Amino acid sequence: MTELDVAYKYMVVNTHWQETPVYFHCVYAPVQPTERVAFYDSLPRDFPEDSIHVVMGDLNLPFDLYLDVDKPHHVHTVGRINCLEWLAALRVTDAWRMHHDEDRTYSGPHKTTRLDYILADTHLVRDCYVSSDYKRPDAHVAGDHAIHTLVREAIATEASRLLVVLRDAQNPGVVWHAWKKRTRRFLQEAHRHVKPHFLREKTASAVRLAEARRLHSEGLSNLEDIEEEEKLFLESEDLWKLYFSDLNFDVHASKNERSTTHFFRPPTKVLYKTPVRSVRQRDGTLLSAPDIIQKEFVAHWTGVMREDDPTPPNRATRRRFLRVLRRKLTVEDKNALEENVTGTDLQTSIETMAPHRTPGPDGFSACFYQVAPAVFGPKDLKEIRGRKLRQCFRRRAMRSIPLPTPRPLPWTYVYP
């Protein structure tokens, strides 16, 4: 919104979260006290009634004249009332001070004042606040102010609201599928901005590691400096690998597990990319004749890709196992096995899944549901028991839910 900009001092960017307008205000207030009153009085206040605002930047004012200042001065009060009036019109609040009501943290260049803030909508902080913090920038980062971070948990909050809608909906499966589709689209869009960030972090850590090794070879640093840089470099490498792992998971879930053209694509003309040059027979003999390799290959996969069971269960062994099971199980174990699946069971199973390897109950990876397992557990149970999802969705959901039990086995899979 360039019409509202104040050159080098104020900028506002707007977007929408579904139907709600959202405004991000970036502020660098005048350093001279005499200019602050006119500056804050000139900032816009007329926005839609249902809009959400986030204000961030260097306001060049301490809000709390006792906690935010090491040595109070009369210049700290100039323009303060005008600033607070503008912030009150936007209905924003200082989330960090709300949760650190007695802390003294100074973000200014001389470490004597707190001048840098992230102020968010009052309802946003109430519903979505997770944490906030101040930290000094690294040596290679330009700037003399502390960095302020504010973390909000959008997925868990929106899922909690969705749970209320699902309980009253006539078709909760359709509501859930629509929400999942919108969330997936949003995460995919956000994921596109993650790649350049991880790439910059990986490149910068590699440069710092090379510089640390050079300084160590010249005798200007010790071994601990190299170990610290190597640790940061390995962390950036892990994040880079995690990005591609998430990307591959999304491609697999969206293309290989649905009736898409990619799934029904014709086979490639090249049947193998790595040639099979030899084969080991059952007697241990290693042969490289092409006709023998083809014969062994066909025989192996013919035994695997078949409709009947090549190794049917042994009925005598199964009866013996059931007898031992009945004898070993206590009354409590038998009652636990007969009980219905509860939301607590699903919550515990979601918490114990491998975050980036186990598929979640319905399409997303397990780490997505682990953001709010207490919310997603009862929701999934309502859908499965209500049979409001299509059959293919119900089967997929049930097959991917590991259920914890009090038995020696840590968990087991339950099929419909």
| Contact (CB, 8 A) for 278 and 286 | yes
Which one, of 98, 101, 136, 89, lies nearest residue 118 by Cα?
A: 98
144 pLDDT higher than 70? no
Neighbours of 201 (CB within 10 A): 17
Among 381, 399, 390, 389, smallest CA distance to 342 is for: 381
What would the mean pLDDT of 301-314 be, rounded to a whole number?
76
> Highest-confidence range of 57-71, 108-122, 249-263, 277-291, by mean pLDDT?
277-291
Statement: residue 381 has pLDDT above 70? no
Q: Of 223-237, 302-316, 328-342, 399-413, give the lowest mean pLDDT range.
A: 399-413
pLDDT band at residue 406 using 50, 70 and 90 as cut-offs? very low
Residues in contact with 147: Cβ distance below 8 Å, sequence separation at least 6, in sequence order: 116, 134, 135, 136, 137
Residue 412 forms beta bridges with which residues? 403
**Residue 373 near residue 402 (C-beta atoms within 8 A):** no
Q: What mean pLDDT is reported for the chain?
A: 75
Label residue 189 left, alpha or beta by phi (over 0 means left) and psi (-120 to 50 means alpha).
alpha
The CA–CA distances, whole Å, from 39 to 28, 57, 297, 348 equal 10, 14, 79, 54
Cα separation, 320 vs 364, in Å, equals 40
Q: What is the pLDDT of residue 154?
A: 66
CATH 3.60.10.10 applies to domain 2-152: yes
The tokens describing 145, both together, are 């102010």
Q: What's the whole-model pTM score? A: 0.45
Q: Are 229 and 209 in contact (CB under 8 A)?
A: yes
| 269 compared with 114, residue with greater pLDDT | 114
How far CA 202 is from CA of 149, 232, 365, in Å, comes to 22, 9, 25
pLDDT of residue 412: 33
Considering only residues 104 and 145, tell me which one the structure prediction assigns the higher pLDDT.
104
- 109 compared with 348, residue with greater pLDDT: 348
Of the candidates 136, 130, 63, 143, which has an alpha carbon nearest to the alpha carbon of residue 99? 130
State the pLDDT at residue 238: 81
358, 362, 367, 373: CA torsion to nearest 10: -120
Q: Is the pLDDT of residue 382 over 60?
A: no
Compute the distance between CA of residue 376 and CA of residue 163 in angstroms, rounded to an integer. 8
Strand partners, 149: 133
What is the full DSSP assignment across 160-222?
A: HHHHHHHHH-S-HHHHHHHHHHHHHHHHHHHHHHHHHHHHHHHHHHHHHHHHHHHHHHTTSS-
Answer yes or no: is pLDDT of 178 > 50: yes
Domain parsing of the chain, residue ranges:
2-152, 167-266, 336-413
Least confident of 171-185, 326-340, 346-360: 346-360
Residues 60-117: tens digit of each pLDDT: 888 777 777 877 777 777 888 888 888 888 888 888 888 777 777 777 776 777 778 8
pLDDT of residue 206: 86
Cα angle value 135/143/111 (rounded, 5°): 55
Structure tokens at 149: 């971070």
Q: Is the pLDDT of residue 416 over 70?
A: no
pLDDT given for residue 204 in this prediction: 84
What CA–CA distance (Å, rounded) separates 39 from 156?
A: 38
The whole-number pLDDT of residue 407 equals 36
**Highest mean predicted confidence (pLDDT) among 88-97, 188-197, 272-281:** 88-97
pLDDT exceeds 60 at position 415: no
Q: How far apart are CA 126 and CA 98, in angstroms?
A: 10
Question: So what's the pLDDT on residue 378?
Answer: 63
Return the SS3 of 39. helix
Q: How many CA atoms lie within 13 A of 207 on its CB side?
A: 7
Is the predicted pLDDT of residue 266 greater than 70, yes or no?
yes
Question: Are the C-beta atoms of residues 42 and 84 closer than 8 Å to each other?
Answer: no
**pLDDT, tens only, 217-243:** 888 888 888 888 888 888 888 877 777
The model's pLDDT over 25-38, given as tens digits with 9 standing for 90+, comes to 998 888 888 888 88
